[in-house]
Structure 1
Amino acid sequence: MSNVIWHETKMTSNNTPSPLVASASSVYPSTVAAWKAFNGTTSDNQDAWASTSGVTDAYVILDYGKEYVIDRVKITSVNGAVTFGTKNFEVFGSNNNTEWTLLSSELNIPVWGKAEAREFIFNKKGNFRYLKLRTWGTYQTVENYVGIGDIQYGSDIDKKLAIKNYVTNKHYSMSDNTIIHLPDNSTKNMILHGIEQGKEIQLDVPFDKHTYINDKPVASVSGKVFTQDIGIINTLNIRENREEKSIVTTWHETKMTSNNTPTPLVASANSIYSSTYDAFMAFNGGANITGDGWAAAIGTTDAYLTLDYGSSREINCVKIQYMNNNDITFAPKNIIISCSSNDNDWKDIGNFTNLSFAQNEIKIFNLQSNISRFLRIRMSMSNGANYIAIGEITFGKRSEKEVK
């Protein structure tokens, strides 16, 4: 069972409630102080943190006062002008406010809406007391500062039932066949022997060490009545043990500069609008630039792109981004992903239909797991235009790792 836990802060100043402390490398006026990024609200354009005018590279730090498991962040944009929103950011974790571990880096994020919340899952997961979020860059040159409406850190935690021995402070579970473990020095037993009798029985001491039922019946009573020696009694302390796992995605980035560079990458298409929208433009990492991407020839609404990695890659997901173009009618409606080891025999590993994209929108699709050298993306039916286009395509591998 999976459960995302957000470590809410709801701050009312830079050091309340205790033990929370917020700080920033730059603050515009006091009305948009560091703690405003951790107060849990975005009521207006002053309910946020913003850097000093002229500073477009700044960071904000949160000290929880104790360690928390962290593997994601939820960022909410300012409830106002979005042109100075979070275009690029990095998140770092630390336990001494000196040595920092990079947890996540996001570049060229699509433009935000007002007070829009987005969740970002980190590549690394761990226990941290201090979290630093650095943001830089704006969406328009007219803006000369950066700002964030709200920041929340959290983690995805798997749960399972386990038993804790409160004397030895150890846990026991079905996974290691130790679900029943009763030390003989505990002070109370969880299992009652008879409801009416109100007695308790000791389970951890072997039966030959205790005379549980006396050999001789009690005299001078009606019928046969036996007594029982209870001795030391035991207890179990049951709690929920949280098994923490991290979902890690490795993206096979290409950043191509032509149809066959860098070596050994090769991109091709069965149709192109012009050399300005050649095949490699879907694999160059620049979809956030206006007009950057691949497009098919006019009148072509069924076309495909092929990517040759030059060597086999493990693939089980794909990230597809539409162009930075407010005309979304060119976006493909149907997409089929195929793989091959020889560019001749192809196998479909993903089929997605009735799609629509917003400007710069990124969609991530799970694929059948495979190890292949060649990937083909067939796109058919636009959303109204007489040809199809796409901004960026990146293949990757998702895996689950336990955090120790």
Structure 2
Amino acid sequence: MKKNPIPIMTSNTQPSGEAFGSSTWTSTSEYFYAFNDSLNQNFTSNSSLPQYIGYKFTKSYKVVGYSVTSRNLNNDDLAIAPTEWELQGSNDNSVWETIDKRIGVVWTSKLEEKYYGLKNQQFFTYYRLLVTKNNDFATSIFGINQLKLFREREKLIIHNPNSTNTKHYSLSDNTLIHLPDNTTESIIEHGIEQGRYIQLDVPFTKHKYFNENPVANASGKVFTQDIGVINTLSIKELVENKDFEPLYTWYDTRMTSNTAPSPLVSSASSEYNANYAPFKAFNAIISGETNSWVTSSGVNNGWIQINFNKQIKVNMFSITSGDYSSSVGSEPKDFILYGSNNGTDFDEIITINNQTNWKLGEVRTYLLNQSANYSIFKLQVGSNNGFTYLRIAELKLGYKREVN
């Protein structure tokens, strides 16, 4: 499984490593924009090609793949996209080695991501995309939305301080056991139980045998392997006969202003005053009069939205009413949830009507018929429950799945 080790960058040097390049178009086209996972911020070079954009890790990595995503800025995005380049690596930012070379790359849309696998076996600290040609743009520059680098996920090996055997590794709660070899003696010594995971230095060379005979108090797959006359290793996958239980995951916003923390941005059709700004509906605080978004006085409808600046998967959302007793009736009654990836074109996701009889501080959760994948979500409220303004204490977006 491959992982992008570059963190979501908030500046050229934060939170770690360093984004660098040969030139940048303006102060609104920073180097780190190519590594911030934003759909709306892009990197564009300034000087004539060849030009490059790159990233310096805090330690060397072996990159086994990379992807380039086309720009999302204006009508020149496809023309300014790179069509010829080299992916290069270095350990001193001076001597560069070519890892991959591409010629005649064709782009068909904005935010198109192209992935390239590598057979690279070398470790480098610096990586850069050196572009030599764009897609016939009039000026000899290039622009992209994102550059991602991928490495194989590392094995998790943790030394157990409670063990005197230096070849035995495990998590403190013994849910991961690291075995030095696959001998029966090693398995017997360290044990294997339901709910534990084993990591081996070497692969198994013996077959796994599926036990077709019934095993008491077990259902599902049952594997058994005879180790000796006395010792028998039996691994059982136990599945109780119970219904699937829902697991709710909510996206954490905890906003402290309309633009913080980055890259979140909240906005609304109106606000009562600065104490009731849009971000108050995304600050994870529902108690208190001012911990709500409130529309202008005399306005009992309107919209509020949040921009994650990257696509998220949503199949549920919740609304929390205010706990301020003097504003009973300000809760939303009829509303529509919209989604967008550019802030201009919005798709209707779900319509909810006749939400009446709210209690103070009540949370109501709404499930979608299917998942919605957008970077911007907007709640458009057509009417409230009769008060002179509209109030929402908290608007949350999340994802529900069922587990057994």
User: Fold-level match, TM-score > 0.5?
Assistant: no
Larger Rg: 1
TM-score interval for Structure 1 and Structure 2 normalised by the shorter chain:
0.3 to 0.5
Give me the TM-score of the superposition, normalised by structure 2.
0.41
